[in-house]
C-alpha cells in the first residue's frame, strides 16, 4: 500500500488536556502537508482551527469525551456548538454504563439525536472496546447500524487500551451495510496501519503515522513516542 493511501485514512489527532494553540496549529499544518482525512482536536479549538484551515482540511472534534457519561442534552448541545464553530466531523462517546445496563433503546436514541444535530456531517460512535465484552461489541455494531451513524470507532485512546486487529475483524463481520469502521489508539507503525486497513478500517485515529513520516524525512528513522492519547 502506498504511504499516501494510508495518510488519506488518518484523522491526525491531538487531544491532550494541555494542548496549546501552537501545537494545534502545527498538527493542522502537518495534516495539510501529508493529505490526511481530517485533523481531530478538542472542541475549544474548533473555531480557531476552522478559520485557520479554511477549506484546506476538515476539522473533526470529540463529544462527551473521553468518558461518555454526559447527559444526552449536553452531548447534543456540544455537537450543535461544534458544527456551528466549523466542525465537519463529530466523534462521540457512548454512555458505557447504559450499555452495561442493557439500556439499548437509550443508547440508540442518543446516537440518533446527535446524528440529527450533525445533519449531513459525519458522525463516528466511540464504544471503548477495551471496556466491553465481545457480546457488547456485537450489540454496539447493531445499535450503530440502526442509529444511522456513519462510523463505529474502537477507542478514545484515554482508557486501558486502544484498537486491536481482532476488534476490527469483529466489527467488519457484524456492522450493517453503509457503516464504516475507525480504529483508534495504539496504532504505532505503518505496518499496523496497513493491517488495520486491510481488515476493514476506513479511518485511523492516530498522531504517530505523521510523526513517523516526519522523522523519516528528517533522517531519524525512528518511532516517536505517542503524545496525544492515540
Task: Name the least confident of 101-105, 161-165, 178-182, 219-223.
Answer: 219-223
pLDDT for position 196: 98
Rounded CA-CA distance 156/128 in Å is 6
Q: Is residue 200 pLDDT above 80, yes or no?
A: yes
Q: Enumerate residues 6+ apart whose C-beta is below 8 A from 56.
A: 32
Q: In Å, what is the CA distance from 205 to each residue of 4, 91, 156?
A: 16, 10, 9
Q: Is residue 227 pLDDT above 90, yes or no?
A: no
* Residue 172 bears catalytic tag: no
Given 124, 139, 153, 211, the catalytic residue:
153
pLDDT for position 218: 87
Q: What is the pLDDT of residues 39-85, one digit of tens each?
A: 999 999 999 999 999 999 999 999 999 999 999 999 999 999 999 99
Given 11, 30, 75, 91, the catalytic residue:
91
pLDDT for position 18: 97
> Are 164 and 131 spatial neighbours (Cβ–Cβ below 8 Å)?
no
Angle (nearest 5°) at CA 120 between 40 and 108: 85
pLDDT for position 31: 98
pLDDT for position 220: 56
pLDDT for position 45: 98
Cell 482540511 maps to which residue? 57
Cell 437509550 maps to which residue? 106
Topology, domain 11-213: TIM Barrel (3.20.20)
Q: Is 157 helix (H, G, I), strand (E, B) or coil?
A: coil
Q: What is the pLDDT of residues 100-153, one digit of tens each?
A: 999 999 999 999 999 999 999 999 999 999 999 999 999 999 999 999 999 999
Given 115, 124, 182, 211, the catalytic residue:
182
* Residue 98 bears catalytic tag: no
In this prediction, residues 163-188 reach a mean pLDDT of 97
Grade residue 230 by pLDDT with cuts at 50, 70 and 90.
low
pLDDT for position 170: 98
* Residue 153 bears catalytic tag: yes
Amino acid at each position: 500500500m502506498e504511504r499516501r493511501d494510508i495518510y488519506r485514512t488518518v484523522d491526525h489527532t491531538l487531544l491532550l488536556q494541555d494542548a496549546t494553540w501552537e501545537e494545534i496549529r502545527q498538527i493542522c499544518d502537518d495534516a495539510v502537508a501529508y493529505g490526511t482525512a481530517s485533523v481531530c482536536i478538542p472542541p475549544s479549538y474548533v473555531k480557531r482551527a476552522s478559520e485557520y484551515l479554511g477549506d484546506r482540511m476538515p476539522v473533526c472534534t470529540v463529544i462527551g469525551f473521553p468518558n461518555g457519561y454526559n447527559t444526552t442534552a449536553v452531548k447534543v448541545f456540544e455537537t450543535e456548538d461544534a458544527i456551528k464553530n466549523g466542525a465537519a466531523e463529530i466523534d462521540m462517546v457512548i454512555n458505557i454504563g447504559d450499555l452495561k445496563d442493557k439500556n439499548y433503546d437509550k443508547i440508540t436514541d442518543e446516537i440518533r439525536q446527535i446524528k440529527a444535530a450533525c445533519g449531513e456531517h459525519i458522525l463516528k460512535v466511540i464504544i471503548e472496546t477495551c471496556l466491553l465484552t465481545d457480546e457488547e461489541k456485537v450489540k454496539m455494531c447493531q445499535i450503530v447500524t440502526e442509529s444511522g451513524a456513519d462510523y463505529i470507532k474502537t477507542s478514545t485512546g484515554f482508557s486501558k487500551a486502544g484498537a486491536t486487529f481482532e476488534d476490527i475483524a469483529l466489527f467488519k463481520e457484524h456492522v450493517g451495510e453503509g457503516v464504516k469502521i475507525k480504529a483508534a489508539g495504539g496504532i504505532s507503525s505503518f505496518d499496523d496501519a496497513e493491517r488495520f486497513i486491510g481488515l476493514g478500517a476506513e479511518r485511523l485515529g492516530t498522531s504517530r503515522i505523521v510523526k513517523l513520516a516526519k522523522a523519516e524525512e528528517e533522517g531519524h528513522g525512528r518511532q516517536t513516542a505517542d503524545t496525544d492519547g492515540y
